[in-house]
């Protein structure tokens, strides 16, 4: 069985010291990679190799390694999180590659996500978008209402839950030809606008989050649908349409 | 004040692209309907053309049409420049465009600019001559049919309508999405309607060009 055979691979990895200095590709070889290891484990093996050779290891983002934290990124052979759909890089397995393959590994490319080092980018622009309105104001003075006491139609709850599946990894920005963050922002706006707790601030939220998104320097939406294709959580373009509606009606009714 | 904030925002600009796009798509339908009178012969087309040139409502809409074109082109170019710079200085060494971004969607600026070149040619050869034509010497019908005797001119027209078809194949459903109209129950219908629309427009105009080329 060929799938049990270990892999020997050529890697072309983007190396960049810091955000100021220009980066470049460097070539590496890894041998004896198990097809059952994950892509990040393969990079761990490479880094182990580099450390033993007294060379600087490749910096890349990772955390939970079970596809829910949104930390791992990487543009692998021209696709966010690699060639598989609906997975993050930690869930990409080396059996997806063939012995002798050359793999290009690049950081997310977006003006709003500057490279910090090698493959690590600064995604704090997303945090600032969330801070601008991606929350529900709750009075915590003691009379909090049980969330489950509010009746919510099943369909709305399902839609909100689907939107809430967004892990904020930034694959949408990385993939979009315009480096637009609309899939991310729309998932957050929709998630909250669909629920009674979030509806109260929906208008202010839509205006504030879109303003912050624009200020961060993300591009505009061309409705190519590329973000939806590459999103590891399958966030739908329906969210962007919902955000457009929320923003349009908020702009018409805005009194500030 | 709010209005300027709206048009400066990312969603506002896309809304304007969609609104002007819708307007231009309606215009294409009107334009094609008038052109189809060419099949009815010289008198039929000249009468239809005369109606368009004298009807006060059409005369007023001309200025709105020009504004629609200018806004669509202006915001299209502005969005393209902004989107380019949003990617940053370094672009991907390897990008599998075919895996995620459809061809028609990623070439809107190029098909759009080429259609603009065609529009300028069309203004020079038809729109302006029709406005200042001395109809005693030749009628609008002859102005059109004479041009399509030239094979190069006919080919340029056919290429322009292929480009327009590509542009519309993304633009039609994209305009609905920008306006917030997307739902799993009716979006498949909008997409089918879009296919019908761009085939109708492109085949309609192309058939006219080919008909008068081969008829000579």
Task: Give the domain ranges of chain B.
Answer: 2-88+102-215
Query: Are B10 and A214 in contact (CB < 8 Å)?
Result: yes
**Residues of A in Cβ contact (< 8 Å) with B11:** 210, 221, 243-244, 247-248
A85, A110, A135 — which closes off a domain? Answer: A110
Residues in A touching B86 (Cβ below 8 Å):
110-112, 178-180, 217-220
| Distance between CA atoms of residues B36 and B6, nearest Å | 40
Query: Which residues, 6+ apart, have CB-to-CB distance to B55 below 8 Å?
Result: none
Question: Distance from CA of residue A63 to its chain's centroid?
Answer: 13
Q: Are both A130 and A247 inside the same structural domain?
A: yes
What pLDDT score does A132 carry?
Answer: 98
Give B86→chain A minimum CA distance, Å: 5
- Answer whether residue A116 is part of any domain: no
**A-chain residue closest to B105, CA distance:** A224
Is the CB of residue A175 less than 8 Å away from at least one CB of chain B?
A: yes
pLDDT of residue A142: 80
| Closest CA of chain B from A195, distance in Å | 18
Count of CB atoms within 10 A of residue B131's CB?
10
Best of A178, A193, A236 to disrupt the B interface (most B CBs within 10 Å) is A178
pLDDT averaged over consecutive 10-residue blocks of chain B (216 residues)? 76 96 97 95 93 91 95 97 95 96 97 98 90 75 91 96 98 97 94 98 97 91
Contact B86 A104 (CB under 8 A): no
Specify if A115 maps to a domain: no
Angle at A252 between CA A195 and CA A130, to 5 degrees: 45
Residues of chain B with C-beta less than 8 angstroms from the C-beta of A111: 85-88
Which of A19, A21, A78 is the best substitution to test chain B (most B C-beta atoms within 10 A)?
A78
Does residue A83 form part of some domain?
yes
CB contact under 8 A, B87 and A109: yes
Q: Which of B175, B147, B195, B187 is nearest to B38 (CA)?
A: B147
Shared-domain flag, residues A129 and A106: no
Same structural domain, A145 and A176: yes
What pLDDT is stored for residue B134 in this prediction? 66
Give the span between the Cα atoms of A199 and B34, in whole angstroms. 49
- Structure letter (DSSP) for residue A37: S
Overall domain count for chain A: 2
**Are residues A117 and A16 in contact, defined by beta-carbon separation less than 8 angstroms?**
yes
3-state per-residue secondary structure call for B93-156: CCCCHHHHCCHHHHCHHHHHHHHHHHHHHHHHHHHHHHHHCCCCCCCHHHHHHHHCCCHHHHHH
CA dihedral in degrees (B54, B60, B64, B65; nearest 10)?
-10
A225 interfaces chain B, CB cutoff of 8 Å: yes
CATH number at residue A74: 3.10.20.30
**Residue B42: Cβ within 10 Å count:** 13
Residue B3: the pLDDT is 53
Same-domain status, A133 and A249: yes
The rounded distance, in Å, linking the Cα atoms of A230 and A175 is 7
In this complex, which of A78, A226, A248 lies closest to B180 when CB atoms are compared?
A248
Domain B2-88+102-215 has CATH 3.40.50.300: no
pLDDT, tens only, B2-55 = 556 899 999 999 999 999 999 999 999 999 999 999 999 999 999 999 899 889
Q: Name chain A contacts of B1, Cβ cutoff 8 Å.
A: none
* pLDDT (0 to 100) of residue B28: 97
pLDDT computed for residue A216 by the predictor: 98
Q: Flag if B182 and A225 touch (Cβ within 8 Å).
A: no
* Nearest CA distance, A139 vs chain B (angstrom): 31
Q: Structural domain of residue A222, as residue ranges?
A: 123-253
CATH number at residue A224: 1.10.1060.10
- How many CA atoms are closer than 13 Å to the CA of B85, on its beta-carbon side? 8
What confidence score (pLDDT) does residue A82 get? 98
A224 CB near a chain B CB, below 8 Å?
Answer: yes
ipTM associated with this complex: 0.93
B147 DSSP assignment:
H
Confirm whether A117 is domain-assigned. no
pLDDT lower than 50: segments of chain A: 1-2
Chain A 104-123, residues with CB within 8 Å of chain B CB atoms:
104, 106, 109-112, 114
Last residue of a domain, one of A110, A142, A174: A110
- Cβ contact (<8 Å) for B92 and A75? yes
């Amino acid at each position: 069985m060929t799938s049990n055979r270990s892999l020997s691979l050529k890697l072309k990895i983007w190396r960049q010291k810091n955000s100021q200095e220009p980066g470049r590709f460097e070539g590496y070889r890894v041998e004896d990679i198990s097809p059952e290891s994950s892509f990040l484990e393969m990079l761990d093996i490479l880094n182990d190799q580099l450390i033993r050779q007294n060379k600087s290891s490749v910096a890349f983002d990772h955390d939970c390694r079970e596809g829910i934290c949104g930390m791992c990124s990487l543009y692998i052979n021209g696709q966010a999180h690699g060639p598989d759909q609906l997975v993050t890089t930690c869930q990409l397995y080396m059996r997806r590659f063939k012995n002798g393959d050359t793999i290009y590994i690049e950081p997310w490319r977006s003006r709003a996500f500057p490279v910090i080092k090698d493959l690590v980018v600064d995604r704090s622009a997303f945090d600032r978008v969330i801070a601008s309105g991606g929350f529900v104001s709750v009075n915590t003075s003691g009379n909090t209402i049980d969330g489950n006491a509010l009746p919510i139609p099943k369909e709305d709850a399902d839609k909100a839950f689907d939107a809430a599946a967004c892990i904020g990894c930034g694959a949408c920005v990385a993939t979009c030809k315009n480096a637009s963050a609309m899939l991310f922002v729309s998932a957050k706006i929709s998630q909250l606008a669909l629920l009674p707790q979030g509806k109260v601030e929906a208008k202010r939220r839509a205006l504030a989050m879109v303003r912050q998104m624009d200020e961060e320097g993300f591009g505009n939406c061309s409705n190519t649908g590329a973000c939806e294709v590459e999103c590891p959580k399958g966030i739908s373009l329906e969210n962007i349409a919902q955000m457009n509606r929320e923003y349009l009606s908020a702009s018409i009714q805005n009194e500030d | 004040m709010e209005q300027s904030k709206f048009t400066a925002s990312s969603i506002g600009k896309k809304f304007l692209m969609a609104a002007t796009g819708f307007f231009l798509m309606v215009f294409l339908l009107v334009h094609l309907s008038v052109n189809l009178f060419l099949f009815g012969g010289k008198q039929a087309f000249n009468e239809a053309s005369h109606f368009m040139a004298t009807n006060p409502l059409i005369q007023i809409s001309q200025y709105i049409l020009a504004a629609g074109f200018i806004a669509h082109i202006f915001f299209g170019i502005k969005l393209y420049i902004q989107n380019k710079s949003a990617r940053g200085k370094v672009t991907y060494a390897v990008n599998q465009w075919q895996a995620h971004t459809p061809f028609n969607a990623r070439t809107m600026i190029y098909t759009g600019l080429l259609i603009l070149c065609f529009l300028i040619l069309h203004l020079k050869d038809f729109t302006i001559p029709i406005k200042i034509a001395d109809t005693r010497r030749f009628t609008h019908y002859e102005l059109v049919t004479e041009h399509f005797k030239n094979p190069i001119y006919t080919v340029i027209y056919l290429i322009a309508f292929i480009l327009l078809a590509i542009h519309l194949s993304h633009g039609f459903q994209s305009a609905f999405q920008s306006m917030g109209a997307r739902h799993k129950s009716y979006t498949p219908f909008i997409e089918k309607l879009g296919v019908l629309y761009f085939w109708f427009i492109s085949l309609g105009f192309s058939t006219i060009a080919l008909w008068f080329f081969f008829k000579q």
